[in-house]
A and B are shown apart, each in its own frame.
Chain A
Amino acid sequence: MVRVDGSGGSNSLIQVRGLDKTYRRGGGEIRVLQGLNLDVDKGDFVAFMGPSGSGKTTLLNLLGGLDVPTRGTITVAGDEITHMSGHKLTEWRARHVGFVFQMYNLIPVLTAFQNVELPLLLTKLSKAQRRKHVETVLHVVGLADRMNHYPRQLSGGQEQRVAIGRAIVADPTFLLCDEPTGDLDRQSADEIMGLIEQLVKEYGKTVLMVTHDPVVARRAGRTLHLEKGLLAESAEPQGVAAGGRHEI
């Protein structure tokens, strides 16, 4: 169950309470998040929408432990991450979070295989074990035959598949995707969403995704709207066929 009113039980996977994020810039203050609450259960697939600058990326960064909130708490699987030291937070990220970014963000000098292998370098797995994991994952994302290609030799959609492979290879607790289809054409976007759906349905992954695209958002189990620093259960965004939600 996804909730935004702070009423979730303590057994939800992700529990956000009273989250504030204020940026200080040149004397002025921008309050981006203002007492935001969120509960996400294991296996949920949530889409965040909202106008540009509303704080979607900020929210994902906080959930992923890339940044620290001004106030409030984030608890993931019982661990409160908002008060972890930088070092512990780094370890926590490696174990629990998979990131997928809009611009794929692959390391250009590494092959698809090496890019996917990166998170495993931080584990105790042997070289042979790492190879097995990477090959399995590349198979799942449909790039088994592109293992030794460099990012520049891949299409945008393929690059994003590699990035998704990298995000899931260490079997994280949840995935954070910031506009994963933002740079792709419609068909590639559909394929990527198919892949993410498959991760949720077949592999029981928990996914939190930011998108501008209502078509993409509709593939998620729930769409939440971020505005004025708070999340709201989304009435269907304006202009999108009202029937969309009922398909899920």
Chain B
Amino acid sequence: MKFSGLIFANLFRKKIRLLLTIGSFAVALFLFAFLAVVNDVFSRGADIASADRLFVINRTSIINPIPLADRDKMLRIPGVKMVTHDNWFGGIYQDEKNFFPQFVIDPENQRQVFPELMVSDEEWKNFLKDRQGAIVGARTAERFGWKIGDRIPLKTTIWGSGNWEFNIEGLYHGKRPQDDETQFWFQWDYFQEHVPDAQKGQVGWYIVRVDSPDDAVRVAKSIDAEFANSPYETKTETESAFAASWVKQFGNIRFLIVTIGTVVFFTLLLVTGNTMAISVRERTPELAVLKALGFSDRTVLFFVLAESLVIALVGGLLGLLLAVLAMPVLTRALSGLLPQLVLAPSVFAFGFATALAVGLASGFWPGLGAMRLQIVNGLRRV
């Protein structure tokens, strides 16, 4: 393009200003990527939820239990393929800040209901043989440096008191990078042996796998109807609805993040718009000269837009690439508190497109001014 020389010469007119403007884009886009990733972590449950899984909890609240005896009634409902159950253990490993989720699982159905959390057959066999056996997500194992064969004590305050001892028999890995690899599983039978009598025979919640996702809503209604008017009424939701209501417990995180993100981009627009306006205004006579030489109004507008677009492009890419590089560092810094942070391509694309849009918008008003500039007035300002 024969005009590129002129466009780049104008860009580099004030190098500090150019650096600062590109920096504004980079910082804003980095922040955007970070917010998007946090949002992604919180809403991931809903995104990766399997369409053929239902969560059945006690109608009163998730901390109220449901009897194990209800399982057989559920299995008889048409459309139900498989049922498994979990309890929240909530034990403490050495110190409270070493949090990771621990579930009492039903070894018989766990792997069929959650096929995306993979354990080798060998390790699974060892796990079944060992009453105190545990399976740990790969990230939690890495976080504490656990290996197969390690003996892990967890202190409980919910199920009686004192330490429970476990042997790590295997690790599980998620099929997808977003899958949660922080959980700790152990066996229902071991749990039953040690909980106080009053808490025996009670599960935290059920997870139901249905024959067909299309049928999920109907099956959910049938389950709730089955237990209506019983001492343990249920609330059955699809996994994604369940995950969404789980996130809501932390407040409206999505709203918070969208608000911050909007403010960031709006501020960026004001800053770069102002910079472009100043940069165009201070060369009004030059623009008038270009027009006198025969450059059209549209070409002049194009020059200004091209300039702000190049800034947005470079700054935006820089910020996003830095964010990509920073993800592993951030994940490590949060030391396993959150699942693996991933900057999804769609987030990258959205951020990049928004940066370009901001670039275009910030160049638009000054560009329009340049386009409308009357040559004689521009020249008089010399």
Contact = CB atoms under 8 A, between A and B. Distances in A.
B294 A90 contact: yes
A109 B12 contact: yes
Contact of B286 (A67, A94, A107, A122): A107
The range of chain B's interface size is 20 to 34
A94 B375 contact: no
Interface stretch (A97-105, A185-193, A218-226): A97-105
Interface stretch (A9-17, A113-121, A205-213): A113-121
Contact of B375 (A67, A102, A103): A67
B294 A93 contact: yes
A178 B375 CA distance: 15
A114 B9 contact: yes
Interface in B367-382: 374-376, 379, 382
B382 A101 contact: yes
B376 A66 contact: yes
A62 to B, nearest CB: 10
Contacts of A99: 289, 292-293
A90 B291 contact: yes
Contacts of B374: 67
Interface in B274-318: 285-286, 289-297
A132 interface: no
A109 B293 contact: no
A87 B2 contact: no
Interface string B47-59: 0000000000000
Contact of B382 (A67, A86, A105, A122): A105
Nearest to B2: A121
Nearest to B298: A87
Interface in A162-208: 166
A79 to B, nearest CB: 15
Interface of A: 61, 64, 66-67, 86-87, 90-91, 93-95, 99, 101-103, 105, 107-110, 114, 118-119, 121-122, 127, 166
Which are the 5 A-B pairs with shortest beta-carbon distances?
A: A94-B294, A109-B9, A66-B375, A105-B289, A103-B382
